Structures are given as C-alpha cells and as structure tokens.
C-alpha cells in the first residue's frame, strides 16, 4: 500500500477573493478539504499526494496559476 503525503496549506489571499480561490481549489483532485477561516490566514486546504515531489509541484503550480494567493505556509502531517 502506498503511503500518501498529507499536508495542510495555509493561505493568505487577496481581500475579497477567498470564496473564489476556495472554489477553484475544490476542483483539484489532490484537494480533500478547504475551509475559509478568520485569523492570520484566509484559507486552509488539506491535500493528499503521492510524494513530496508531487506536493512541491502542486504548491508551485498553485502559486503560479492563482495570483490571488499572496503567501502559503505548508504543514506536513506525520500521522
């Protein structure tokens, strides 16, 4: 059985773009859950991928394709 890499990506986005960005994220097969939140970050996204390389590629692609995303912080789950 292949062990998936599970990560939580915390995002700061352009004001007013939270719901649009969240809806776009939910269209991606790697994305398992998305929440628009209050606080330091605007969106929390749960991602499952096959490898660390796939996670890196996902995050880089996300930032390139969506200019409304200002910053990301990634936390990788250990269990």
List, in sequence order, every residue forming a beta bridge with 69; answer none if it has no partner: 13
Contact yes or no for 46/31 (Cβ under 8 A): yes
pTM: 0.91
Q: What is the CATH number of the domain that holds 55?
A: 3.30.70.920
Res 66: pLDDT: 92
Domain holding 41, by residue range, is 5-76
CA distance 25 to 8: 13
| Structural domains in the chain (count) | 1
Q: In which band, very low, low, confident or very high, does the pLDDT at 1 lie, cut at 50, 70 and 90?
A: low
Instruction: Report pLDDT digits (tens) over 19-53.
Output: 999 999 999 999 999 999 999 999 999 999 999 99
């Amino acid at each position: 059985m292949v062990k998936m890499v599970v990560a939580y990506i915390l995002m700061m986005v352009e004001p007013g773009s939270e719901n649009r960005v969240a809806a776009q994220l939910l269209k991606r097969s790697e994305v398992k859950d998305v929440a628009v939140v209050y606080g330091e970050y605007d969106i929390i996204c749960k991602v499952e991928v096959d490898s660390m390389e796939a996670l890196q590629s996902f995050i880089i692609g996300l930032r390139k394709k969506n200019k409304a995303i200002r910053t990301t912080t990634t936390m990788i789950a250990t269990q």
